Structure 1
Amino acid sequence: MDLGIVLAFIGAAAVISLVPGPDMMYILANGISTGPRGGVVAAVGMSTGVLVHTVAAALGLTAVFQAVPAALEVVRIAGVVFLLYLAVQSLRSSALPDVRGAPARSLGRIYGMAVLTNVSNPKVILFYLAFVPQFVSLDAPWPVPVQLLALGGLLLVVGICVDAAVGVSSGWLSNVLVRHRGVQRWLDRAAALLFGGLALRLATEDLR
């Protein structure tokens, strides 16, 4: 691949990764709720979701969503339901009487939910349909699927650097605040608000 195209893609990926969106809000919410490790694990889960989308794009599966718009609506509905579930779970955590003695959300659960959050986001599918192909060249010596995998790998690396920084920062802030009695309960409520807001945004967005 041409070096200029690679550098342009990295720059564009960095800008896109820095723009707050559902993935970043999910990482922020988990960092606030569970600390730095939870934020970083959420970032890794999001990157795994990006990997799934990358492989799907290389296999041509994303074209199915372009040909069958109803499939994209199904993904949207699944995403809304899942985000609402996360909001309810966070609210339930905030209602526990003994916050400091409450069991922490497992890192495996955070990771799995992060993967599902990313995979069920129709905006990511549209991103792969509209953005990534602009950096693919039919004249390049590499086959198109290989180029898509390479670009997806670059996007993954850039994204995890940005997302992990967000997870660590929000988690560190959470650890500082949680030293004060009762703050964890409000942090869980803030996470629930973020998840609920993301669900509402996804439900009302125009995917065209």
Structure 2
Amino acid sequence: MSTEIWIALLGTALLISLSPGASAATAMGAGLTYGVRGACWSTLGLVSGYGVQIMVVSLGLGSLIATSPELFSILKWIGVVYLIWLGIRFWRQRASGEVESLAFAPRHSRFLQALLVNITNPKGLVFLLALIPQFIDPARPQLPQLITISATLMAAEACIMTGYSGLASGLRQQFAHPMAMIWQQRLAGSALIAAGLALSVATL
């Protein structure tokens, strides 16, 4: 892959990750709840889920989903239900003790929640299916190109999601009061519910 094409890929990858959506909402919710260091497990989950999507597209399975309205719809509604369920879970944290217990959720739980957010997003699969071939040179070996594309997309996702969680983490001092903590959870929950509702109207 030439330097010019890679720079174009990097710019595209950064713009994709910057766009608002379920990943951004998850990263900001994690930053508000756990701080930037604690949110790294959520970021790792988001990046891993993104990697799974890239692998699915690279293996050719993405085209199956993109050409099957039934599969797309099933995956979409799994994602919708999961995002809204997460959002409602945040909204239902009422007592300060419940909020604190959520803030100290196990690392693996944070990772898995974020992983599922990206895995269950069929819009991402369809978008990657259209994007990745644009940066593949058919005259060259595909595997090295796919590795470069995957690494670039995932690195951009990691940087932007860390930035989102860091930005949200900077607001944590404003939520030190127990009642403010509850509204912090509701803000994060609302963002996840909004992402779920946005996904619900997605079509092929």
Relative to the length of structure 2, the TM-score reads 0.91
| Distance of aligned partners of 1:199 and 1:43 in 2 relative to their CA distance in 1, 3 Å threshold | same
Please show how residues 25-174 of structure 1 align to structure 2 within 5 Å: 25-93=25-93, 95-98=94-97, 102=101, 104-140=104-140, 142-143=141-142, 145-174=143-172
| Distance of aligned partners of 1:101 and 1:196 in 2 relative to their CA distance in 1, 3 Å threshold | closer
Q: Which position in structure 1 is the counterpart of 2:200? A: 203
Q: Which position in structure 2 is the counterpart of 1:23? A: 23
- Cα distance, 1:147 vs. partner? 2.1
Q: Which position in structure 1 is the counterpart of 2:2? A: 2
Q: d(CA) in 1 for partners of 2:48 and 2:33?
A: 21
- Cα distance, 1:188 vs. partner? 0.7
SS in 2 for 1:117: helix
| AA in 2 matched with 1:48 | S
Q: d(CA) in 1 for partners of 2:49 and 2:100?
A: 32
8 Å CA contact retained: 1:55, 1:149:
no
- Cα distance, 1:135 vs. partner? 0.8
| AA in 2 matched with 1:170 | A
Q: Deviations over 1:118-162 (max 9, x none)?
A: 01011110111111111111012x22x442232011100111011
SS in 2 for 1:76: helix
8 Å CA contact retained: 2:96, 2:181:
no
| Distance of aligned partners of 1:39 and 1:97 in 2 relative to their CA distance in 1, 3 Å threshold | closer
RMSD of Structure 2 on Structure 1 (CA): 1.8
Q: d(CA) in 2 for partners of 1:178 and 1:21?
A: 24
Q: d(CA) in 2 for partners of 1:75 and 1:189?
A: 26
Q: d(CA) in 2 for partners of 1:182 and 1:36?
A: 21
Please show how residues 180-195 of structure 1 align to structure 2 within 5 Å: 180-195=177-192
| AA in 2 matched with 1:172 | G
| AA in 1 matched with 2:190 | L
| Distance of aligned partners of 1:34 and 1:77 in 2 relative to their CA distance in 1, 3 Å threshold | same
Q: Gaps spanning 5+ residues in structure 1: where?
A: none
SS in 2 for 1:78: helix
| AA in 1 matched with 2:150 | G
- Cα distance, 1:100 vs. partner? 6.7
User: Aligned residue pairs: how many?
Assistant: 203
Q: d(CA) in 2 for partners of 1:164 and 1:188?
A: 19
What percent of counterpart residues are identical?
A: 25
| Distance of aligned partners of 1:173 and 1:70 in 2 relative to their CA distance in 1, 3 Å threshold | same
Q: d(CA) in 1 for partners of 2:112 and 2:184?
A: 21
Q: Which position in structure 2 is the counterpart of 1:177? A: 174
| AA in 2 matched with 1:188 | Q
Q: Gaps spanning 5+ residues in structure 2: where?
A: none
Relative to the length of structure 1, the TM-score reads 0.90
